Amino acid sequence: MGKFAERMNRLGTETAFEVLAKARALEAQGKTIVHLEIGQPDFDTPDNIRKAAVDSIWAGETGYGPSAGMMKTREAVCRYIEKDRGLSYAPDQIVIAPGGKPIIFYPILALVDHGDEVIYPNPGYPIYESAINFAGGKAVPLKYSEERDFRFDIAELEAKINKNTKMLIVNSPQNPTGGVLEDSDLKRIAELAVENDVVVLSDEVYSKIVYEGEHRTIASYPGMQERTILMDAHSKTYAMTGWRLGYSAMPKDIAEKFTKLNTNTYSHATTFVQTAGIEALEGPQDEVDKMVKIFKERRDAIVDGMNSIKGFSCLKPKGAFYVFPNITATGMDSQTLADKVLNEAGVACLSGTCFGAMGEGYLRFSYANSLENIEMGVERIRKMMG
């Protein structure tokens, strides 16, 4: 095998998949593992959505479509964003993609050049840093800290923005902390983005999984619609992680470049999945409401559970389906403790450092699992920690 391209050294990864593989290996040896590492709802995709996909296949929607997504899907996304976020977009500003991930990767590839700086949340979803580095940009971490309820310090953001700042990534509700940015945070980000001519990539894949108040998009602040790439996906909201479907709204010129990258790679999101995605957005939403209600009960249970473990201290997050307990009082580093929790207690979770260097001192648990399993997981760790 020859030498690999230099750019591959700059590509990161998402370690959740590696932990899942380690857990599966232990299961193959006969151990029972409680899975609290995976960021996907443990619910089935609602029936009306599944039926829409099957009907679409039988109706023959199995050929190529437009790279930006089928017109009917883009129109449905326009209607949805108007209704849900009060913002009006034209279909040529919408790009449909196979999942949320390409909406991180391709806009970054399209906009970020060597030397451009991109400010991103740390701890944060690991694909941001990976994509920025791969594009040749400079990844500038912005700390989301426990003391600030897993929000960032505005003064720190101000200090990090300079003439080389091309993009700022915002993620609320946030993975891995469950933190939700407040109106005052979004307002100040908007002012700074406008003043400094910065593009904002707003990752809103947890927009519907909010326990207090309502989600608000940064794109709705003055001057922001024309500089925001608003991304959302069906994955978390409709329990559709494996279907691979995401959607985004942005200025038309960015949408054109993103679409060109689609044409060069996967062409477009699967046609019948797009049709099912319209049903998800426009059909009944009661399954989503039910799921969020269940997540809230689990959140309350896992927060109490985490706080009952020696050396753990856990805030109650306002969104998403993760908790991010502080484990510094255990005297162990995050990776050592995550390994010990897996190997000795049989509970799979992630080290905070899977989400960047600033995740040291924390573990991430997903509560997209039954109350019974959450309680079993907590009990096992409590026993192990003595």
Binding site for ligand PLP (CB under 6 A): 39, 99-101, 125, 171, 175, 203, 205, 233, 235, 241, 246
Alpha carbons within 13 A on the beta-carbon side of 334: 21
User: Quick one: 279 or 346, whose CB is closer to ligand PLP?
Assistant: 279
Q: In this structure, are strands 34-35 and 347-348 parallel, antiparallel, or unpaired?
A: parallel
User: Quick one: 101 or 268, whose CB is closer to ligand PLP?
Assistant: 101
Instruction: Determine how many CB atoms are found less than 10 A away from the CB of residue 51.
Output: 13
User: Quick one: 233 or 315, whose CB is closer to ligand PLP?
Assistant: 233
Q: Which residues pair with 231 in a beta bridge?
A: 203, 248
* Cβ-closest position to ligand PLP: 99
State in angstroms the smallest separation of the CB of 84 from ligand PLP.
17
Structure tokens at 227: 């500089």
User: Quick one: 11 or 329, whose CB is closer to ligand PLP?
Assistant: 11
**For the chain, how far is it from start to end, CA to CA, in angstroms?**
50
Contact 334, 362 (CB under 8 A): yes
State in angstroms the smallest separation of the CB of 107 from ligand PLP.
13
State in angstroms the smallest separation of the CB of 99 from ligand PLP.
3
* 3-state secondary structure labels for all residues of 294-358: HHHHHHHHHHHHHHCCCCCECCCCCECCEECCECHHHCCCHHHHHHHHHHHHCEECEEHHHHCHH
User: Quick one: 39 or 346, whose CB is closer to ligand PLP?
Assistant: 39
State in angstroms the smallest separation of the CB of 234 from ligand PLP.
7
User: Quick one: 35 or 380, whose CB is closer to ligand PLP?
Assistant: 35
State in angstroms the smallest separation of the CB of 386 from ligand PLP.
33
State in angstroms the smallest separation of the CB of 2 from ligand PLP.
31
User: Quick one: 120 or 125, whose CB is closer to ligand PLP?
Assistant: 125
Alpha helices in the chain (DSSP H): 16-28, 47-58, 71-85, 101-111, 126-135, 154-160, 183-196, 234-237, 252-264, 271-282, 286-307, 334-345, 371-385
State in angstroms the smallest separation of the CB of 268 from ligand PLP.
15
Residues whose CB falls within 8 Å of the CB of residue 160, separated by 6 or more in sequence, listed in order: 119, 140, 142
Separation of alpha carbons 132 and 119, rounded Å: 9
Separation of alpha carbons 363 and 324, rounded Å: 6
92-122 as b/e: b if 16+ CB within 10 A: ebbbbbbbbbbbbbbbbbbbbeeebbbbbbb
User: Quick one: 203 or 287, whose CB is closer to ligand PLP?
Assistant: 203
Instruction: Determine how many CB atoms are found less than 10 A away from the CB of residue 88.
Output: 11
What phi, psi does 333 have (nearest 5°)? -80, 165
User: Quick one: 176 or 346, whose CB is closer to ligand PLP?
Assistant: 176
State in angstroms the smallest separation of the CB of 123 from ligand PLP.
11
State in angstroms the smallest separation of the CB of 111 from ligand PLP.
18
Spatial strand order of the sheet with 363-366 comes to 322-323, 363-366, 350-351
